[in-house]
Structure 1
């Protein structure tokens, strides 16, 4: 069996482009799975306080409000096109069903609607940042 390195390279590029940790490709009787090990960033590491020798873990931020999560993986955009007015801003009132962001997946621009009414408390992803399925993209009060 000859392994097509071109497919593996393309899958690896998708991992990096979309911020994925694993991707799988199946064609007839060929199955290729590419994955990478993600090293936790410094905010998830265990730190030692200067006054004691006991390790302390950083606790996750307490979320007050409703988290709106990404329904797909892709790249998040805050505006319909570069330089255009953003869909949402912190402090702005939104209604259920209103577009809050666009997530591009495989060259398709997917308008992501709000799942609740409320006021934008926090925008959790930067413009142009990759997002995962289920990742919190905004918090609404």
Structure 2
């Protein structure tokens, strides 16, 4: 089987052009999947707005005193705290974690994407509930 480097390059360019984290191409018996992981750290505090105070009870809000290292969702999808229902959670408030540890899973298009910690620290706050939809760049965890 010959690998079409031009096609892979085009798919990689589409990732940047359309701000995607993953793209898959299938033709006959050939399947090519190109992905990249964009996890960012943001050391800024996030103030609560009047609208955020009116969110439904299914959404945890970042408190006014929240500051520290923010771990954000690399993609749009559904956040899960454990690898499967009833299993032990990846992280809990007060747990010490290291850079690279999986802190959550974000499911997008039936693909389970492990979200790694981008820094060492102690979990100060989990900002999303299990099974909650998340947006790209949304803070999902705050570390001290």
Which of 39, 43, 54 is residue 53 of structure 2 equivalent to?
A: 43
SS of the aligned residue for 2:53 comes to helix
Q: Within 5 Å, which residues of 2 pair with 1:1-141?
A: 41=51, 43=53, 61-141=64-144
CA distance in 2, matches of 1:97, 1:42: 30
Runs of 4+ that moved beyond 6 A: none
State TM-score, norm by structure 2: 0.57
How big is the shift at 1:130? 0.1
Judged with a 3 Å threshold, the aligned counterparts in structure 2 of structure 1 residues 62 and 87 are, in CA distance, closer, same or farther, namely: same
Which protein is bigger by CA-based radius of gyration?
Answer: 1
Name stretches of at least 5 consecutive residues in structure 1 with no aligned partner.
1-39, 46-59
User: Counterpart of 2:11?
Assistant: none
Name stretches of at least 5 consecutive residues in structure 2 with no aligned partner.
1-49, 56-62
CA deviations on 1:57-115 (whole Å, 9 max, x unpaired) are xxx72432111000100000000000000000000000000000000000000000000
RMSD, matched Cα = 2.0
State TM-score, norm by structure 1: 0.58
CA distance in 1, matches of 2:116, 2:52: 32
